[in-house]
Amino acid sequence: MTKDTRFDVSRTRRALLKGAAASGLLLAGSGVRAATGNGKTLRFGVIGPARAPAAPTGYALERGYLLRELAPLGFKDVRFDMFSNGPDLNEAFFSGTLDVGIYGDTPAVVARSQGLKGRLIGFEEIGLAGWLLTPRGGVRSVKALDGKTVGVPLGSYIHRYLLGVLDGAGLTGRVRVVHMLGRDAGAALEHGSIGAYAAPSDLGPTLAALGYPVIDKATQHPELLGSSVIVASTNILGQAPDLPGAWNRARRAALADIDRDPLAYFDFHQRTSGIPIETIKISHPIANYPAEVLPPPGIQLLDGVKRFLLGSRLIRNDFALQQWQI
């Protein structure tokens, strides 16, 4: 299912916040319900299509570190939901059914600009790369996309990457941008129904290995790299003000295990996500996982995201990053 945006700013703004296609939760636990600190369950959301969270927080959950750190705060259970993209996770955040979200910097900044009451408590990953691929025998350069259709998950860090690349090539307003999730990208490229697809870091190497040419990568534009941020609702922070410290201690314990035995971690990531280990090493090198809670490179990327969205009029309301972070 695709939806034409043609760089219409108002429609793109709505897509960044809400998503452009009908979406549902890919549940990996029980049905969605609010989680509260006085009770039993802390609910967090991450982006799929994996079966369960990977990255350091997923490893911390798998190895028991997360619940160990949260138990003294009154939590007896930790549950998660998998979402198809960042805008879907934002909807759950706004509805009050999530306590913590781990997702891309772009939808997180959009939500904060739109008034989401949450705080940035850390970074899960820094340096996520978008990939721009074409059908076999398709165009050979970004500039050759003039007048063509490009698919991308709207509202994601890859969407921001695509807009930045097209703007740099002088193609703003000259390319038809449509919403397309990764599960539909291979068929669209195979049948030539799109001129290119902007793929997330997990999918890009997989499509490239199938023979779809890569005409651009975010690694060629460091300012357009993405990050995965950890945001907690102000409601849960009011109930459990020590949550950020507990969360980051669990994450650091998982990182220590990853450093000691990276092969065991990559095996876990492969079992959880279904992605081949060699692809994981390309898409999520261990160096991408910061030990520091608010590392300067991550804050710099967030500032770039915010300035880009403001400059493109995709968000209207500015805010100070210092007031967002914990």
How much is the average pLDDT of 195-220?
Answer: 96
The confidence score (pLDDT) of residue 312 equals 86
- CA end-to-end span of the chain: 38
Using alpha carbons only, what angle is made at residue 223 by residues 222 and 226, rounded to the nearest 5 degrees?
A: 85
Using alpha carbons only, what angle is made at residue 293 by residues 310 and 247, rounded to the nearest 5 degrees?
A: 110
Burial of 49 (0-12, 13-18, 19+ CB in 10 A): middle
> Could you report the per-residue pLDDT of 77-109, keeping only the tens digit for each?
999 999 988 999 999 999 999 999 999 999 999
Which pair of structure tokens corresponds to residue 278?
Answer: 């060699």
- How far apart, in whole angstroms, are the C-alpha atoms of residue 77 and residue 99? 13
> Could you report the per-residue pLDDT of 142-193, keeping only the tens digit for each?
999 999 999 999 989 999 999 999 999 999 999 999 999 999 999 999 999 9
User: Torsions phi, psi of 165, nearest 5?
Assistant: -65, -45
DSSP codes, 115-129? T--EEEEEEEEEEE-
Going by C-alpha positions, the residue among 229, 231, 208, 230 that lies closest to residue 219 is 208
Residue 194 near residue 151, CB atoms below 8 Å: yes
Going by C-alpha positions, the residue among 100, 116, 102 that lies closest to residue 18 is 116
Reported as type and span, the H/E element at residue 233 is: strand 226-233
Residue 60 has pLDDT above 80, yes or no: yes
Going by C-alpha positions, the residue among 59, 55, 54 that lies closest to residue 254 is 59
> Could you report the per-residue pLDDT of 1-58, keeping only the tens digit for each?
444 444 344 444 455 544 433 232 223 333 333 334 455 899 999 998 788 999 999 9
The confidence score (pLDDT) of residue 16 equals 52
Looking at per-residue confidence, does 30 or 265 come out higher? 265
The confidence score (pLDDT) of residue 3 equals 43
Residue 61 one-letter amino acid: L
Longest dimension (CA), the chain: 58
The confidence score (pLDDT) of residue 22 equals 29
> Could you report the per-residue pLDDT of 61-80, keeping only the tens digit for each?
999 999 999 999 999 999 99
Looking at per-residue confidence, does 13 or 235 come out higher? 235
Residue 195 has pLDDT above 80, yes or no: yes
- How far apart, in whole angstroms, are the C-alpha atoms of residue 134 and residue 261? 37
Residue 163 near residue 106, CB atoms below 8 Å: no
Using alpha carbons only, what angle is made at residue 59 by residues 200 and 268, rounded to the nearest 5 degrees?
A: 75
> Could you report the per-residue pLDDT of 119-141, keeping only the tens digit for each?
999 999 999 999 999 999 999 99
| 52 Cβ neighbours under 8 A, 6+ residues apart | 28, 58, 61, 62, 80, 82, 272
pTM: 0.87
Pairing status of strand 41-47 against strand 77-83 = parallel
Alpha helices (H) along 121-273: 157-168, 182-191, 203-209, 234-239, 243-260, 262-273
